[in-house]
A and B are shown apart, each in its own frame.
Chain A
Amino acid sequence: MGGAYTGGSTEAPPGRFTLDSRETQLPSFGYPLCNTSTPCRPGLSALSGTALKLTVNGQDHEFDVAREMPLLWVLRDHLDLTGTKYGCGIGLCGACTVHIDGVAARSCSVLAGDAEGREITTIEGAAGLVSDLVREAWTEADVVQCGYCQPGQIMTAIALLSKNPKPDSDEVERAMNGVLCRCGTYLRVAAAVRRASEGL
């Protein structure tokens, strides 16, 4: 992952298909790359107003992208932080959940320009006691199936427990109800949140 990656190992797991974003940052190709430092097309900056400045996982970034681009796509396509998932684009599924100033937010429904000056944390940058306990609990409860919604589940759980370390079952249900899992890992999601809460 890119330099903004602060959670877990920076090494991709061995032997798997890996995301080589380092390669994409080397201007060794016969065409201009569209990334954080190269405008996609002449005039884009003018159209989109001033450069966008975001603080993601503790690092400052500047982009030449439209300020009305949803935060989700800036994270995914311009920072290659692919742990934040696209599921519906209209704030109904929670797969794109990130923390903005510590609060869970649907990055598909937040305009990038509105996130300026805020602390944005993605699954790659989530760290600390609550994050550790949540991930341990996720492992012990063997929650995941396909895994696609799990970053959103985990980010939602971390936000909940950071604010309310001892949620009752109704509070767990209310907080987690907004994150869809088509594989149906819900019973284990709820169990893992309770388990993580025990360590707080």
Chain B
Amino acid sequence: MTPLSRRGFLLGATAAGGLVALGGTSWLMRRPGLPGGGDYTIPYDPTVFLSIDPDGTVTLQSKHLEMGQGIMTGLATLVAEEMDADWSRFEVELAPADTAAFLNTHLGRQGTFASSGIANSWVQMRRVGAGARAMLVAAAAERWGVVEGEVSVAGGVLRHEPSGRRASFGELAHAAMAQPTPDPETLELKSPAEWERIGHTALRVDAPEKISGEAAFALDVRRPGMLRAVVARPPRFGGVVAGFDAEAALDVPGVREVIEIPSGVAILADDTWSAMRGREALPVDWDDAGAESRSTDSILTEYREIAQRPGVLALDRGDVESALGGAAQTLDYEYTFPYLAHTPMEPLSCVMERTDEGVEVWAGCQLQTLEQWAVAQVMDLDLEQVRINTVFAGASFGRRANPRTDWIPELAHIVRVSRLNRPVQLVWTREDDVRGGCYRPVSLHAGRVGVDASGAIAGWEHRAVSASLVLGTPWSYADARAGVDRATAGGIMETTYAVPDLRVDVHAPTSPVPVGFWRSVGDGHTIFMIETLLDELAERSGRDAVEFRLTHLREDARAQAVLERAAEAIGWWGGPPGGRAYGVASSFDDVSGRRTYVSMIAEVGLDVGRLDIHRIVAAVDCGVVINPNIVAAQIEGSVAFAVSTVLRNEITLRDGFVVQSNFHDFEPTRLAEMPQVEVHFVSSDTPPSGIGEAGVAPVAPAVANAVAALTGRRFRALPLPLHELGATLGASPGPVIRPTGLHP
């Protein structure tokens, strides 16, 4: 075991400092490159993650950000299961930035991404729990002078039955700390038959403080003497400040300071509203010479031209030309998808203050390794001088996992330049958020797919045109450096449908518009393309849509089982109720070899002159389910997240300016539009694969396929052109949606 500092197990678990070198090189040296990504050691030492109070309360450091996905509860379940801890005295804290201690075991960097929270912790956190249990047992055996095999553990209490002796975790915490850390490889983990927590529903550990209103998000952090900052940013991406009149803003009561930073002009004030008013009063001249000045339509026109030329080859298997040449039917297609914003309910915010050691940050920080490094670069500090306290995030959907970084180092620039030396809270308004970029990129997918006389897919050539999410960023990975970003070409590259002859190539045009990970990432567009095409191919082949898919899933029993389960659950073969239609789609999402299977069938009606998505029946195989209730909640949430992209959501550029600005023109799904959601589990004993994103991608194609069944019309873009279908939106806003004053 690498000698990580023992921070916990006892009272007063200490801060992140003092980590020593891994592999002979110091993490803590200032270095030009982003740490991690090379060799790394997975920490299993229980004392890194756990502290035990004398009263027996066990506190786990959650190495992952809680942004609604339930990871604190999930990690606690894994540890408590193996530790045989008392659940009523098990608490969870969000761990600070500390890459060596809290790295994501899939990457060697600290971060919560790619639905990997449970998957990367599955072995590690159970070993942490089992290791802690072993250390407590060893301490008890030593104190009582008995053999370890005679010590039993249940509910946070150790017992020696023959002598009747017993002790709580709290009583033995000190003695356990002195025990050697067990070799993680030798720890025996419970068999599934022994599980008392895994697979059972526990209420979320973060719920009570979120229901009371006490939960602290970054916007709720208060520090003594704290100022609020908003930033006037260029109205076009890539613009820069040409000049500004600070006095105009300084004349606004409460405004303290106006300073130029790389991303714009920051206004610091005593409260948020004064900062916002200061920004309104501040005249800024922008230099748009290097800015994006195109409209979405012209970008897509350029993409269409680019798509005429071969891109970088991502995948080429079989003989696509021969297969397509021999196909009974071929289908040429072109799909387009708009930019999409994440709009988490909590707009971006963070707090930073200078300390004797360096700076301290509070943020709903999703990629701690990246953000810590970015702040260190801006402030010219060592990594260890940047303490990042992770606080609850008011959701993210990928927004806080920006591979380019933005809001946290932006605040570092403010703190670096400010002469006031006071804590500063940076606030992005909703307009800043909607117009702030980091979007899912606009994309164009074009190609040709064939079916042979037997109804089997015969040849598929596909070309994707989309800005890379990671190319040129510190977070880039090997594929992207070779010109293929799996984040945009994913979905088709790893499809589990039988496509023996498949070629995929990609273009990654660049633009000043920053793009990023958006829940379900590339699958959000490629799965729409695949699943609507499969539906159309089935229809052209005279085959049932589910049966057509099943014949292409013969090599993947798990995929077959999930699709069959969804079809059975809704009664696919019996047909929909009168006036309605079913539409089917699946995401057999593969992230680095972790495949999550989600099939959905949408029941849709246009019968009352509007599009009603009545219900979504989902079947899920995400490996071992830690908490069925949380998995179901992720599917429900995925449906809500996707429905508004079907109905209306898009970010559009007009001459480089973002048209939308707030929830009136980028309106998320509302309660009245929420379909009923049923979730059916297909039991699985494979390791958990992740469920945060896989439910998003199937929703839109399932609905589109159902609408196609009702109207005979196929769709090649999102959002669906409801106005052309004579459908109005399902939700009637009613009086409650209007701004309400004192007299609603």
Contact = CB atoms under 8 A, between A and B. Distances in A.
Secondary structure dominating the interface of A: loop
Interface string B690-732: 0000000000000000000000000000000000000000010
A194 interface: no
A167 to B, nearest CB: 13
Contacts of A20: 222
Contacts of A165: none
B271 A34 contact: yes
Contacts of B395: 145-146, 148, 182-183
27 contacts: A14-B91, A29-B225, A47-B253, A73-B271, A83-B214, A84-B213, A85-B345, A87-B430, A104-B740, A105-B744, A106-B740, A135-B211, A138-B211, A139-B208, A145-B68, A146-B68, A147-B392, A149-B345, A173-B671, A173-B672, A175-B736, A177-B670, A178-B736, A184-B640, A185-B637, A186-B674, A187-B676
Contacts of A77: 228, 271-273
B255 to A, nearest CB: 8
Contacts of A16: 93, 209, 216
Interface core residue of B206, B389, B740 (most chain A CB under 10 Å): B740
Interface core residue of B66, B69, B228, B741 (most chain A CB under 10 Å): B741
B346 interface: yes
Interface string A135-167: 100110011111111110010000000000000
Interface core residue of A13, A16, A90, A175 (most chain B CB under 10 Å): A16
A129 interface: no
B141 to A, nearest CB: 29
Interface in B43-98: 57, 59, 66-70, 91, 93-94
A19 B221 contact: yes
Contacts of A184: 636-641, 669, 674
A48 interface: yes
B219 interface: yes
A145 B273 CA distance: 28
Interface of A: 1, 7-9, 12-21, 23-24, 29, 31, 33-34, 40-41, 43-44, 47-48, 65-66, 69-70, 73, 76-78, 80, 82-95, 100, 103-106, 109-110, 114-115, 118, 122-124, 135, 138-139, 142-151, 154, 173-190
Contacts of A17: 94, 216, 221, 362, 389, 391
Contact of A19 (B68, B222, B638, B733): B222
Given A24-B224, A104-B744, A187-B636, A180 B663 contact: yes
A142 B734 contact: no
Interface string B374-410: 0000000000000001011111010000000000000
A190 B672 CA distance: 10
Given A17-B362, A146-B68, A146-B345, A114 B742 contact: yes
B219 A85 contact: yes
A147 B637 contact: no
B232 to A, nearest CB: 16
Interface core residue of B210, B272, B676 (most chain A CB under 10 Å): B210
Q: Interface range on chain B: under 10, 10 to 19, 20 to 34, or 35 or more? A: 35 or more
Contacts of B208: 13, 139
Interface in B221-255: 221-226, 228, 253-254
Nearest to B51: A15
A24 B663 contact: no
Interface of B: 57, 59, 66-70, 91, 93-94, 203-204, 206-217, 219-226, 228, 253-254, 256, 269-274, 343-347, 362, 389, 391-395, 397, 420, 422, 427, 429-430, 629, 633, 636-641, 662-664, 667-672, 674, 676-677, 731, 733-734, 736-742, 744
Given A34-B270, A142-B633, 10 more contacts: A13-B214, A24-B224, A87-B346, A105-B742, A147-B68, A147-B392, A177-B672, A177-B736, A184-B669, A187-B674
Contact of B663 (A93, A114, A176): A93
A76 B203 CA distance: 29
Please give me the 3 A-B residue pairs with the lowest Cβ-Cβ distance, nearest first: A184-B640, A91-B739, A83-B213
A77 to B, nearest CB: 4
A190 B273 contact: no
A29 B253 CA distance: 22
Contacts of A109: 739-741
A127 B621 CA distance: 42
A147 B224 contact: no
A142 B671 contact: no
Contact of A89 (B430, B638, B672): B430
B204 A144 contact: yes
Given A105-B744, A145-B395, A73 B737 contact: no
